[in-house]
Chain A
Amino acid sequence: MQEVNEIKLETRDSVTIMDIQGDVTAFSEPFLNDAYQNANTQGTGKILLKFDNNAYINSGGIAVLIQVLAQTQKNDQVIGITGISDHFKKIFNMVGITKFAQIYDSLEDALQQMA
């Protein structure tokens, strides 16, 4: 039951938005990695991960996200996260993702603060 994530890239106000459609699990790894590499080759210094508000994100997906964060740290990129539900804001805080990425309540808020 493999997931397929469609991830659209868009640049607004010097921020590259990775618009992640669908649930995020271990199966998301190739999609997230490809999208990040595409964003990285554009020379972006700021990346916003935008999730579906209804997305299911399990521990496998969290592991993949953290591996992406590891790459962004190496490349000195600023990372923001938006679109996740209150439950997953809590989860991301618990696992420590918020040490490496700021969570924003809305896309507009993120772009304003990251620009």
Chain B
Amino acid sequence: MPHPLNNQSIEISLPNQIGYERIAMACSESFAKMLGLSLERIEDLKTIVAEAAINAMQHGNKERPDTRVTVSMTFKDDTIHIAVMDEGDGVKELTPTPDIERIVNELDPPVGFGTFLIRELADQVEFDKTADGVSVVKMAIKL
């Protein structure tokens, strides 16, 4: 029997300013609670939504204040599908996994943790472009 909220979706448009990702985090938390996601995975969901939104603001939209970031979430077949879109060239997929020992020894800069956390916490991650050429990071978390 399908989940009563199967095929439901929400979408949020955010100003391109660090800090506004918290609105997307709060929305994702509310949506996930309605769907019955575990408390631990809700926290994971909030983190990946935040990190993807921050990446979109800083790297995709290049911190331009005249741009926006769109976060959409769709629940389908027991999976929460999240898409984070910017108005720029998108974010780099191939950021190397940060090596904390090299960073602490000041051999590498302290970067890459956002993408690392997305990869570690999401069940699926994909960096893509829509048919209109809009850059999108797609993530999924299963119930």
Residues on A lying within 8 angstroms of B by beta carbon are 1, 25-27, 56, 58-60, 62-64, 66-67, 69-70, 73, 85-87, 91, 94-97, 99-100
Chain A residue nearest to B15 in the complex (CB)? A1
Q: Which of A1, A27, A58 contacts B51 (CB 8 A)?
A: A58
The answer to whether A59 and B104 touch across the interface, beta carbons within 8 angstroms, is no
The answer to whether A67 and B110 touch across the interface, beta carbons within 8 angstroms, is yes
* Cross-chain pairs A/B with CB under 8 angstroms, 21 sampled: A1-B17, A56-B22, A56-B25, A58-B21, A59-B54, A59-B114, A60-B54, A62-B113, A63-B110, A63-B113, A66-B100, A70-B103, A70-B106, A85-B43, A87-B40, A87-B47, A95-B113, A95-B117, A96-B100, A97-B100, A100-B100
Instruction: Give the CA-CA distance A1 to B53 in the complex, in Å.
Output: 15
How close is B18's CB to chain A, nearest CB, in angstroms?
Answer: 7
Pick from B17, B18, B21, B111 the residue with the most CB of A within 10 Å: B18
Q: Give the chain B neighbours of A85 by CB distance below 8 A.
A: 43
The answer to whether B111 and A63 touch across the interface, beta carbons within 8 angstroms, is yes
Instruction: Give the CA-CA distance A60 to B101 in the complex, in Å.
Output: 18
Contact digits for B96-107, partner A, Cβ 8 Å, 1 yes 0 no: 001011011110
**Extra pairs beyond A70-B106, A94-B117, A96-B101 (8, CB < 8 Å):** A59-B51, A60-B18, A60-B54, A66-B110, A94-B116, A95-B113, A99-B101, A100-B104
Chain A residue nearest to B120 in the complex (CB)? A94
Instruction: Give the CA-CA distance A94 to B98 in the complex, in Å.
Output: 11
Q: Give the chain B neighbours of A94 by CB distance below 8 A.
A: 116-117, 120
> Is the contact region of chain A dominated by helix, strand, or loop, or is it mixed?
helix
Instruction: Give the CA-CA distance A91 to B40 in the complex, in Å.
Output: 12
Which 8 residue pairs are nearest across A and B when measured between Cβ atoms?
A1-B19, A96-B100, A63-B110, A59-B114, A59-B113, A87-B43, A70-B104, A62-B113
The answer to whether B116 and A95 touch across the interface, beta carbons within 8 angstroms, is yes
Instruction: Give the CA-CA distance A69 to B110 in the complex, in Å.
Output: 11
Chain A residue nearest to B54 in the complex (CB)? A58
Q: Give the chain B neighbours of A56 by CB distance below 8 A.
A: 22, 25, 50
